[in-house]
Structure 1
Amino acid sequence: MGFFLAREMAAQWAVLGLLAACLASAAKESVLNVCMDAKHHKIQPGPEGALHGQCAPWKDNACCTAETSTGAHQAQSYLYSFNWAHCGVMPDKCKRHFIQDTCLYECSPNLGPWIHQADTSWRRERILNVPLCKEDCEQWWEDCKDAVTCKENWHKGWNWTSGTNRCPRGTTCQSFKYVFPRPADLCEKIWSNSYKYTLEHRGSGRCIQMWFDPAHGNPNVAVAKYYAQNGRDASPAPWAVLLLLPPALLSLL
């Protein structure tokens, strides 16, 4: 009797393990090729044949529309009424990084492993700690070190009384290299830890590229898949997934 009971229990646990693995696999797949729930994002990614300028690399599969891609290139964009030149004109070589940053945020369908809930009036989801390639972050800092700003966190704390962002009272305009002494300071602090500075290199499959040549495909597809399968926060552990099952279903196993 005990032998048959033990065998039945073993079979039940095998079924539970298989079900957990299936659910975990589905959870991993659910963060691939998705758009976040935010102000200008499409519900689902898809082809956009007329994306503007620096957003064009995402035209085959994008979370942004052509209109959004045009707005990403405007100095004082209607997208968020944000003015990059709040401390004077931003140099073009620096501005192109902020345009690319906006294109990545608005257009990429490969940020799913780093999407988190957000409690703001203008978006329900945000990205957090996206691993940015070393070269992309360091070139951003190098090209912007002589640009000028009055704040290290551009997500909050501005004076919006004029309808666009102005430096809050008591702040001073300084070069980026003083506000952000290291590349990691710029990439991680400017958008409230949306990005994470890494030592991973472009083409490694372990970091998100802001810049890529679409003629060679989108390298961030493989990066998202890697972190969905291996990243700590990408998906729950297989047995943890069982906690999501209704008790009635578990009782049948």
Structure 2
Amino acid sequence: MGFTLVVIIALFTLANQMVVQAADLTCIIGPHHKSSPSPEPDIRADTACSRYSSLSCCAANTSHSIDQQGEQELYNRHWDECGVLTPECERFMKAETCFFSCDPYVGQWKTLDNSTFFDLPICSSSCDKWFDACKDVSVCAQNWITDYKEDNITGRFYCVNKTCRTIAQRYQNGKGMCETIWGDEFRYVADSDNCLLIDFTGDNPNANVKKDISGAHSFELWQSCLSSLLAFLSYILLQF
């Protein structure tokens, strides 16, 4: 009976930790991310990342770099490998980079090593607007994580097999784009559901989005908790 009670308490504690983890405001570990979100009043109002000035995972200088050169200065990845982006596409690409670098509410979906995100539920309207803004622009990669490789000398990322195709040809629609371009980082979700916006005005609506820790998309979190539980049970058994 005593051992059963201990296990029940352990499960309750782990469940409580899962809720706390889902609610925490955290930033991923990256070269251009702060250790924790905080206000950035020096982010200018006319820049791409201005929507995050009240609370941000990126510093003002990171915001400035994105506004000036997109990912080029931050990650040495060039968007114009197949030609210049249209103004509207460039605007949305910068908005997406700001979302990745600055939004303080997406840490709930960070991977176990805290280096990036997994299964972010992106609102269908954001994915569709992104696709519509860039559908006629040509790019050289399908999956921008696996299809780019870093040059060991220059540090610049380039397409492994450079074949230029339009966004429309590569992804067909907003769902195809969101769920492919960054591997498994994004998931296309109906606006009526619990989802995140990439492009918005005013207060950050993502503050109201909480990770669903009870469904099929919480595998990594359950995996982590299960490992902790097994370690705990092993310790208890060793005491007998």
TM-score range with shorter-chain normalisation?
A: 0.7 to 0.9
Alignment of 1:130 onto 2:120: yes
Counterpart amino acid of residue 59 in structure 1: S
Alignment of 1:64 onto 2:92: no
Distance 1:229 1:219 in 2: 22
Structure 1 or 2, whichever has the larger Rg, is: 1
Of 28, 39, 44, 1:36 maps to 28
Any stretches of 5+ residues in structure 2 without a counterpart? Answer: none
Q: 1:85 to 1:192 in 2, by over 3 A?
A: same
Q: 1:238 to 1:128 in 2, by over 3 A?
A: closer
Counterpart amino acid of residue 232 in structure 2: L
The answer to whether the 8 Å contact 1:49/1:60 transfers is yes
Relative to the length of structure 2, the TM-score reads 0.82
Alignment of 1:233 onto 2:233: no
Q: 1:50 to 1:234 in 2, by over 3 A?
A: farther
Any stretches of 5+ residues in structure 1 without a counterpart? Answer: 1-8, 119-123
Distance 1:86 1:193 in 2: 23
Q: CA deviation at 1:193?
A: 2.4
Q: CA deviation at 1:74?
A: 2.7
Q: What does residue range 1-12 of structure 1 map to in structure 2 within 5 Å?
A: 9=1
Distance 2:55 2:237 in 1: 39
Q: CA deviation at 1:190?
A: 1.4
Aligned residues: 232
SS of the aligned residue for 1:233 comes to helix
Counterpart amino acid of residue 129 in structure 2: Q
Counterpart amino acid of residue 99 in structure 1: K
The answer to whether the 8 Å contact 1:128/1:194 transfers is yes
Q: State the superposition RMSD in angstroms.
A: 2.9
Of 212, 221, 229, 2:207 maps to 221
Relative to the length of structure 1, the TM-score reads 0.78
Q: What does residue range 176-191 of structure 1 map to in structure 2 within 5 Å?
A: 176-191=167-182
Q: 1:250 to 1:65 in 2, by over 3 A?
A: farther
Q: What does residue range 91-240 of structure 1 map to in structure 2 within 5 Å?
A: 91-117=86-112, 125-155=115-145, 156-158=147-149, 160=151, 164-168=156-160, 171-198=162-189, 200-201=190-191, 204=192, 206-215=194-203, 218-223=204-209, 225-228=210-213, 231-233=217-219, 235-236=221-222, 240=226
Relative to structure 2, which stretch is displaced further, 204-213 or 87-96? Answer: 204-213
Show CA shifts across 1:44-88 (max 9, x none). 111111224221222222111001111112336310112111111
